[in-house]
């Protein structure tokens, strides 16, 4: 079997949507919160998913802790993606904010959040991304911040655009922002994608649909939050993130808090 991404796709969206619908029907009633790693409609997953179930392990001490990031690691200006160039980036200016929580609803404090995204035309600054949409010299699409004592993060950016990809004929990704998160323990490490409300591409997208529970998929969609909108300046979206997995005993205040 050769790598499926190296051949031009022959399947249409209708073919893909039929595959998506069948898997969703087959998994109905099973409350699977995480994406299926074996999800053939996402063609690149075919040779890149483990075939064996993961082994259950008791976490080692080191796995119950997370790496520590601090003010020497992240400049507060890195949370504003609109100031990279000498001019304003093109697009709809947005604020994205929310809280990072553990499985019991407690804030994940002083922890690193990294994001990356396309520009408003759906183009990433990446040499392998060559579709004919413009780059924006005033937008790199990369940001970082540390959560505060309430677990809150906040980014100033522009709304990313949908973009085409090679999974099948006429494949388009819904607009999204990639998020990389660290929890209170290494077991809680997460990389995911935040989407925008009511995107018409949701039903067509095999990456989003690899999560077969609608309720779980909804957890990746931000909410328009008018209280986060800044008059005359930007639109607000709020999105909370829950990181589960075993961790150390909770202490208040947490060790290492400044």
Partner 1 sequence: MSTPAKNSQSPTPGQTIGPFFGYALPYEGDADLVPPGSPGSIRLHGWVYDGAGNPIPDALIEIWQTDAEGNVPQAEGSLHRDGWTFTGWGRAATDLNGHYTFSTVLPGASEKGKAPSAAPSFGVTVFARGLLDKLHTRIYLPEHAANAGDPLLVSLSEDERATLVATADATGLRFDIHLQGDRETTFLTYR
Contact call for residue 131 and partner 1 (CB under 8 A) = no
Contact call for residue 136 and partner 1 (CB under 8 A) = no
The interface mask with partner 1, positions 179-198, x = CB under 8 A, is -x-----xx-xxxxx-----
Find out whether the peptide bond into 123 is cis, omega within 30 degrees of 0: no
Other C-beta atoms lying within 10 Å of the C-beta of residue 66: 21
CA neighbor of 191 nearest in space, from 177, 206, 181: 181
Contact call for residue 256 and partner 1 (CB under 8 A) = yes
Site size toward partner 1, by CB under 8 A: 89
Nearer of residues 56 and 226 to partner 1, judged by Cβ: 56
Contact call for residue 152 and partner 1 (CB under 8 A) = no
Q: How far apart are CA 3 and CA 223, in angstroms?
A: 37
Task: Give me the least distance between CB of 210 and partner 1, in Å please.
Answer: 5
Specify whether 173 is catalytic.
Answer: yes
Q: Looking at 144, 173, 184, 237, which residue is catalytic?
A: 173
**By the 8 A CB rule, do 110 and 69 touch?**
yes
Q: How far apart are CA 176 and CA 124, in angstroms?
A: 12
Q: How far apart are CA 196 and CA 208, in angstroms?
A: 12
Nearer of residues 3 and 77 to partner 1, judged by Cβ: 3
Q: Is 194 helix (H, G, I), strand (E, B) or coil?
A: strand
Contact call for residue 85 and partner 1 (CB under 8 A) = no
Contact call for residue 254 and partner 1 (CB under 8 A) = no
Tell me the CB-side half-sphere exposure of residue 79, using CA atoms within 13 A: 18
Specify whether 195 is catalytic.
Answer: no
Contact call for residue 50 and partner 1 (CB under 8 A) = yes
Q: Which stretch binds partner 1 (CB under 8 A): 13-21, 89-97, 148-156, 217-225?
A: 217-225
DSSP output for 18-47: HHHHHHHHHTTT----S--S--TTSGGGTT
Nearer of residues 231 and 249 to partner 1, judged by Cβ: 249
Q: Is 170 helix (H, G, I), strand (E, B) or coil?
A: coil
Contact call for residue 157 and partner 1 (CB under 8 A) = no
Nearer of residues 144 and 159 to partner 1, judged by Cβ: 144
Task: Give me the least distance between CB of 70 and partner 1, in Å please.
Answer: 3
By annotation, the residues acting in catalysis are: 124, 163, 173, 176, 178
């Amino acid at each position: 079997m050769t790598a499926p991404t190296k051949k031009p796709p022959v399947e249409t969206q209708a073919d893909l949507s039929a595959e998506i619908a069948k898997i969703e029907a087959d998994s109905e009633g099973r409350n699977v919160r995480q994406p299926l790693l074996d999800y053939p409609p996402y063609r690149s997953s075919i040779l890149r998913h483990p075939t064996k179930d993961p082994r259950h392990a008791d976490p080692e001490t080191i796995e119950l802790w997370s790496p520590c990031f601090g003010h020497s690691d992240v400049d507060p200006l890195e949370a504003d993606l609109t100031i990279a160039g000498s001019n304003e980036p093109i697009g709809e200016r947005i604020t994205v904010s929310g809280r990072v929580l553990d499985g019991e609803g407690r804030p994940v404090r002083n922890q690193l959040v990294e994001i990356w995204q396309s520009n408003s035309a759906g183009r990433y600054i990446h040499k392998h991304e060559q579709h004919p949409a413009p780059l924006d010299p005033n937008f790199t699409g990369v940001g970082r911040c540390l959560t505060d004592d309430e677990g809150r993060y906040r980014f100033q950016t522009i709304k990313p655009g949908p973009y085409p990809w090679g999974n099948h004929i006429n494949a388009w990704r819904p607009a999204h922002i990639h998020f990389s998160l660290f929890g209170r323990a290494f077991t809680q490490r997460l990389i995911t994608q935040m989407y925008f409300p009511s995107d018409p591409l949701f039903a067509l997208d095999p990456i989003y649909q690899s999560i077969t529970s609608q309720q779980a998929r909804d957890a990746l969609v931000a909410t328009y939050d008018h209280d986060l909108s800044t008059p005359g300046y930007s639109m607000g979206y709020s999105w909370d993130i829950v990181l589960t997995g075993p961790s150390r005993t909770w202490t208040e205040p947490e060790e290492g808090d400044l």
